[in-house]
Amino acid sequence: MQLFTERLSMRQITQADWPLFLELHQEPDVLLYCFDKPKDAFVKHRFEQRLPTWDPNSRHPLCFVVINNETQQVIGVTGFTYDGTTAELGYLFLPKYFAKGYATESLKAVIEWAQKACGIKQFKAVVTRGNVGSENVLSKCGLTLTDTILQAHTIANKLYDDLIYTLNI
């Protein structure tokens, strides 16, 4: 399964994408508003959960590798976990590709595809308060802030609120 936009190509993650996935979970600028640096074994488990072929009845995460069409460089990952009702969206991009519109472009394509090809009508994303870039991405993709969970988790020994964004189509 592949998705295409003007600037991007997306394909389901494969075993060959392990170095990218690991880098995205080790890079300090990526982790800043996500979570503390996880142990490699935890990252490997998350990676392996995303490898099986996905279909709308799957309950494991769907993870697309995002590729820049012009350079053919792999720039990040995007996708969702679907529980049969709601798709929880997520994405991680390498820092040199921040603030270039790639997260928005890829996420819009994922939402549109999930709606048309899979019949998914409800989307959700959780963002750490302070991650203004991701808040902007979600707003541009049509999601709205619908809830806040105060002091939901700790990153680098600091408590953060979770902001819940939703989209119902």
Q: How would DSSP label each residue in 14-82?
A: -GGGHHHHHHHTT-HHHHTTT-SPPPHHHHHHHHHHT-SPP-TT--SPEEEEEEETTT--EEEEEEEEE
> What is the pLDDT at residue 11?
98
pTM: 0.95
Domain boundaries, the chain: 2-168
> What is the pLDDT at residue 33?
87
Q: Are 66 and 106 in contact (CB under 8 A)?
A: yes
Site of tokens 């590729």 = 67
> What is the pLDDT at residue 98?
96
The domain made up of 2-168 has a fold known as: Aminopeptidase (3.40.630)
> What is the pLDDT at residue 118?
94
**Euclidean distance between CA atoms 74 and 93, whole angstroms:** 9
Residue-wise pLDDT tens for the chain (169 aa)? 899 999 999 999 999 999 999 999 999 999 888 888 999 999 999 999 999 999 989 999 999 999 999 999 999 999 999 999 999 999 999 999 999 999 999 999 999 999 999 999 999 999 999 999 999 999 999 999 999 999 998 999 999 999 999 999 9
Which residue in 80, 47, 55 sits closest to 1, CA to CA? 55
Residue 78's Cβ-side half-sphere holds a number of Cα atoms within 13 Å equal to 27
> What is the pLDDT at residue 1?
84
The contacts of residue 45 (CB under 8 Å, 6+ apart) are none
Q: Tell me, what amino acid is at 2? A: Q
